[in-house]
Amino acid sequence: MKNTNQITTLEVQDSLIKDREITTASQAESALMSTREMSMGVWHMINTVANDVYRSRLFPVSSPQQAAAIMLKGYEIGLGLMASFEFVQVVKGHVGLSPKGALALLHNSPRITKIKLTRLTDDKHKFIGYECTMTRDNGFSHTERWTLDNAVIAGLMKPDSNWEKYPENMCKWRAIGFCADIAAPDVTAGMVDFMIRPEQFGVRIDDEGNIIEGEQRIVVTSEIVQDELYNEKTPTVTLAELLDQYSAEEILKANGGTIPGTNEELERVANQLIKESQENGY
């Protein structure tokens, strides 16, 4: 295969993460994503929400402990508790960022000033690979390239494999992953394994950075008592819904430093946060 004579440059668009905005720390906290501190209030909230998340079956978690671990990992790297389930995934017992999640953090980080993705073609305009360059706010820049030739040398181009079916996606995300691993390990916490070696986990990555074709099995190991489900008055707002819109710190502050546990507390906190948002023009 010839070296590239024609390069079509594509800028990584925010549309790759347009399906869902991530909830992050404030701008000042964002600069310290990798060292985001864990308070006892947030830790207790994670454990409280973990059981509800597991029982709701809204996310593919196998236990409350797994749900808590996902939220904890997401919180540490700057994600909101509920957004963690969107971007932090567990595949074959391995915890990592989905490619979309990693890219969301990279776009959101003030440490990364530019991401440039280049589609490589030969002199006949035939696709041969991708090249990714990331530049940090301190001037450091790094470029990684991944081509079809690299995939052949690595023994990845096998019959009926994802590399044979989706070569462009596999090259694109591998180039981004390898580049992020060098240029921004503090932003992604080094959790780019699903980008740089997805075949090891039996998954592939679609064009928007979602992990697909990985079957996740949820085993219900405990019975849910019917009285717990139906005897309690259905709340008008849940803690999970509050976390989807506000940070854990804001919720704790609105409830005097404790986790809202009753329906009355949840409604009072929701009303207060809505009022504060309106007053601040959010």
The whole-number average pLDDT for the span 157-166 is: 83
Tens of pLDDT, residue by residue over 41-70, are 888 888 888 988 888 888 888 889 989 989
Structure tokens at 209: 């950075």
pLDDT score for 275:
67
Residue 77, CA distances (Å) to 4, 142, 210, 248 in order: 37, 22, 19, 14
279 vs 75, higher pLDDT = 75
CB 187 within 8 A of CB 34: yes
Beta carbons within 8 Å of 106's beta carbon, 6+ residues apart: 112, 115, 134, 180, 184, 187, 188
CA atoms within 13 A on the CB side of 33: 28
CB 169 within 8 A of CB 203: no
Cα separation, 81 vs 129, whole angstroms: 36
The residue to which tokens 């180039």 are assigned: 175
pLDDT at 36 over 50: yes
The residue to which tokens 């993460």 are assigned: 17
CB 99 within 8 A of CB 193: no
27 vs 273, higher pLDDT = 273
End-to-end CA distance of the chain: 54
pLDDT at 246 over 90: no
What does DSSP say about strands 127-136 and 6-11: parallel, antiparallel, or unpaired? unpaired
| AA letter at 218 | I
pLDDT at 12 over 60: no
Return the closest-CA partner of residue 139 out of 175, 111, 108.
Answer: 111
Beta bridge partners of 145: 131
CA atoms within 13 A on the CB side of 73: 24
pLDDT at 106 over 60: yes
What percent of the chain is modeled with pLDDT above 70?
76
Beta carbons within 8 Å of 268's beta carbon, 6+ residues apart: 255, 260
**Per-residue b/e over 265-275, b at no fewer than 16 CB within 10 Å?**
bbeebbeebee
CB 148 within 8 A of CB 1: yes
The residue to which tokens 């017992």 are assigned: 93
Cα separation, 37 vs 235, whole angstroms: 31
pLDDT score for 140:
97
Measured in residues, the chain has a length of 282
Rg (the chain; Cα; Å): 21
The H or E element spanning position 11 is strand 6-11
Q: Which range in 15-19, 59-63, 275-279 is most confidently predicted, on average pLDDT? A: 59-63
13 vs 73, higher pLDDT = 73
Taking the whole predicted model, whether its pTM rises above 0.85 is answered as no
CB 217 within 8 A of CB 114: no
The whole-number average pLDDT for the span 188-213 is: 84
CA atoms within 13 A on the CB side of 210: 10
Least confident of 94-103, 147-156, 232-241, 252-261: 232-241
